[in-house]
Amino acid sequence: MNAPAFDNQDPSLQPESAQNELHLMDYVAVVLQRWPVALGIFILVAVLTVLYAWTRTPRYTATSRLLLESRGANLTAMRDALDQGRLAQDDIMQTHIQLLTSPRVMEAVLQSGILAKAPEFLATKNPVQKLTRMVKASPAKAGYVLDVSVEHENPELAAEIVNTVVDSYLARNRERRLSFSDGGIIELRQKADQMRTRLAEQTAALQSFMESNRMVSFEDAQNIVVDRLKGLNKNLMAAEPVRMQAESRYLTAKTILEESGGSPIAYESIPGVQESPRINAMKAEMTRLQQQYSDVRDRLGKEHQQIKSLTAQIDALNTQMLLEVKSIVAGLRGKYEQALNEETMLREELDKQEDEVLRFNDLAARYNLLKQSRDSLQETYNAIIHRIDELDVNQLSSQGENISVESYAEVPLVPSWPSKKKMLLIGLFFGALLGIGFCFFLDYMDTTIKTETDVRTYIGQSIIGGIPSAEDESGDDKPESFDLYSVANPRSNFAESFRTIRTALAFTSADSALRSLAITSVFPSEGKSLIAINLAIAYANVGKRTLLVDTDMRKPRLQHVFPGGSKQGIADLLAADSQLEPGALIQPTSVDNLFFLPAGTIPPNPVELLDSSRFDALLARLKSDFEMVIFDAPPSLSMADSMILGKRTDGILLVARAFSTNKFAARQVAQKFQAARVRVLGVLLNNVDAPSEGYYSYYSHYSYYKYYQYGENAKQKQGLFSRILGGSDKSKAKPKSKAKHNKGASKA
């Protein structure tokens, strides 16, 4: 029978959007629930605003308008700080605002005597500072226009102060510009004389430098030195290969000559020998003599006179050839020494020229420094002379004034402060804002469960139904006890809410019919016993045999609702040595089909009695004899009775009283039920219309009952929220109090 525990108990297991999904009407309901507080704050702020606005002394604002031209006086070739054509508009405006409210202008206004009889200036120690705070200068939205205004209780004095401030500023500005121009011309002329003297000295120094270095033109002399250095460098680069070639030819010839040993054959490898005509002629003659010697040597013999003559000729020719070769080698040596001397001379000249270039570089630095100094002085001198001529022309043409009065202040006729309408609107706005904000602050500080949103967020369950206040519905005819109010008033909204709950519970279990349930609450005095009684009545009214069992064996109270029965009850049935039968203790009630089993003798161990096999057997027997068994269980926060009953019955209903049950305690109870896997059928929200009808009426179908009544003569009761939506409230409903609860004859 028991389904898996806790369908939607733990808020931590729900999606964040599901927990905190709020509607706009949630916020509206926060205000409607505490509308007297919001209305009181709103009225208080409005009254204070009216008192403040209507008791203030009116003040008048006089305004003068100035037009600023975009030109100014310049004393240098550059556009100076007074040239407004080059400044940004904001900079221009801020400059004039600072100057207009400067102490010198304020002192000029005070010296005019217009404030001599003003009491606020006679009593102050610093009239300049006070006047500065009174004068307001602000730029217009577009253009070079400046508005100067003064606010004062005396409209004539306000206009007079503004016009005096404007005139004083114009006079001060004119004086400053003229004195600045005249003094500037004098200073520029003095500066021009100084610059002329310095320019002459610098020109003389440059000329002396040119003469001392014998230069007609420094640039030409520098070009000559550089060109000569380039030529020497080029010649040296050409002489080096020539010297190297001559040196190589000479050394080669010298080496061959030393190693030849006098052999004419080795001479041919000496450079220049083969090209020598004399060597070639000697070689030809040598060949001829050697041919003759070969021809006659065998025939005549070595001692022959002709052989000796040929031998002498050959030796003489070899000696001549050797002398000629030496002469060629000496020629190669001469060419080498000549090339070496030329290279040495070019290198010496190049070194000298490099020193000359370095000297010219130093001269160039000194020359450039002197020339730049002379040119800079010349340029500055020319600029000063040019500006002196321009300022002379400007003074002659009376140019330089850049401020004009567009309109002087007139005496204001309408006060500028206080603006009663504006202040009232602001007061109403902030009064409403403060009232609404205070309602939300109180709601934030309120830790009780009030709405279905709180139930979903903190308990993780949906509301099965809401029970209205029977005390409110009864009006002036209040009975001694509300426990059986639905019996005496079967067509009341109170009774109808239990029929709705009974119908809703019929759909909580799709597999089998609901046969037993327990009703508990978080704390005592939340109306759980009243709800258990009236829900049992609702089941009995449809013909179901219903048994109401008081299992609050610590503090039972149902025997006061159904008196006259046995003093024994369920505690006695569950006792270990009990021989009692349930039928002997179950008593009928005045309601058809409704029976009652009291708690009986208060036991020392109610939890052990409920958590026993005897209770399981008793519950099975009761379910076989009755179609619905309802247990009135103790509060759940600190007792385990309801948890045991919830595990053994088909489910448990948790009662929460609106604006009373602590939401965090309710969450703790819900978490305990989840941990014990107790099936929670839902939450019953008791006293849903306290302290204001408008708060809960949006969240449940109970608002329907407030409109739809049984019979034509039924009471027509509408809350503030319903009236706002357009309903009429023709009845004089009695104001509700937050202390009204569905608690029955005594605290449950």
387-414 b/e (C-beta count within 10 Å ≥ 16 → b): bbeebeeeeeeeebebbebeeebeebee
pLDDT at 372 over 60: yes
Distance CA 418, CA 345 (A): 106
Does any domain span residue 722? no
pLDDT tens, position by position, 648-670? 999 999 999 998 999 999 999 99
Higher pLDDT, residue 458 or 400: 458
Q: What is the pLDDT of residue 380?
A: 87
Classify residue 31: in a domain, yes or no.
no
Q: In the beta sheet, which residues pair with residue 548?
A: 596, 630
457 versus 47: the higher-pLDDT residue is 47
Measured between alpha carbons, how far is 109 from 162 in angstroms, rounded to an integer?
A: 10
Same domain, yes or no: 464 and 355: no
Q: How far is CA 748 from CA 147, 475, 478, 523, 632, in A?
A: 75, 23, 19, 9, 10
pLDDT at residue 218 in the model = 67
Do 513 and 624 have their domain in common?
A: yes
Q: Is the Cβ–Cβ distance between 593 and 627 less than 8 Å?
A: no
Distance (Å, whole) CA 610 – CA 621: 15
Q: Is residue 512 part of a domain?
A: yes
pLDDT at position 482: 81
Residues constituting the chain: 748
Q: What is the DSSP string of 317-359?
A: HHHHHHHHHHHHHHHHHHHHHHHHHHHHHHHHHHHHHHHHHHH
CB 115 within 8 A of CB 131: yes
Give residue 2's pLDDT: 41
Last residue of a domain, one of 396, 413, 435: 396
Q: In this structure, are 338 and 484 located in the same domain?
A: no
Q: Is 60 in a helix, a strand, or coil?
A: strand
200 is a domain residue? no
Q: Are residues 345 and 459 in the same domain?
A: no
pLDDT tens digit string along 422-478?
A: 999 999 999 999 999 999 998 888 888 888 888 988 899 989 999 998 887 776 667
The enclosing H or E element of 12 equals none
Residue range of the domain that includes 352: 218-396
Cα distances (angstroms) measured from residue 519 to each of 10, 603, 747: 20, 20, 16
Query: What is the total count of domains within the chain?
Result: 2
pLDDT at residue number 63? 93
User: Do 362 and 272 have their domain in common?
Assistant: yes
In the predicted structure, residue 388 carries a pLDDT above the cut 60 = yes
Q: In terms of domains, do 455 and 388 share one?
A: no
User: What's the rounded Cα separation, in Å, for the pair 327 and 333?
Assistant: 10
User: Is the residue at 57 inside a domain?
Assistant: no
Residue 417 lies in a domain: no
Residue 488: the pLDDT is 87
Q: Is residue 497 included in any domain, yes or no?
A: yes
Is 41:49 a contact under the CB 8 Å cutoff? no
Euclidean distance between CA atoms 161 and 165, whole angstroms: 6
> What is d(CA 403, CA 138) in angstroms, rounded to the nearest whole number?
15
Regarding whether 595 and 492 lie in a shared domain, the answer is: yes
* Whether residue 362 sits in one domain with residue 470: no
pLDDT of residue 727: 38
Tell me, yes or no, whether 371 and 453 share the same domain: no
CATH code at position 507? 3.40.50.300
Select from 396, 412, 429 the last residue of a domain: 396
- Residue 322, domain CATH: 1.10.287
Q: What is the pTM of this model?
A: 0.52
Residues 360 and 72: their CA atoms lie apart, in Å, by 50
Q: Quick one: the chain helix, strand, coil %, rounded to 5?
A: 55, 10, 35
pLDDT of 709 > 80? The answer is: no
Residue 313 lies in a domain: yes
Task: Please tell me the predicted confidence (pLDDT) of residue 703.
Answer: 43
Q: Do 454 and 372 fall within a single domain?
A: no
Q: Are residues 457 and 547 in the same domain?
A: yes
Return d(Cα 142, Cα 341) in angstroms, integer: 89
pLDDT, averaged across the chain: 79
Instruction: Name the token pair of 119.
Output: 């009491």
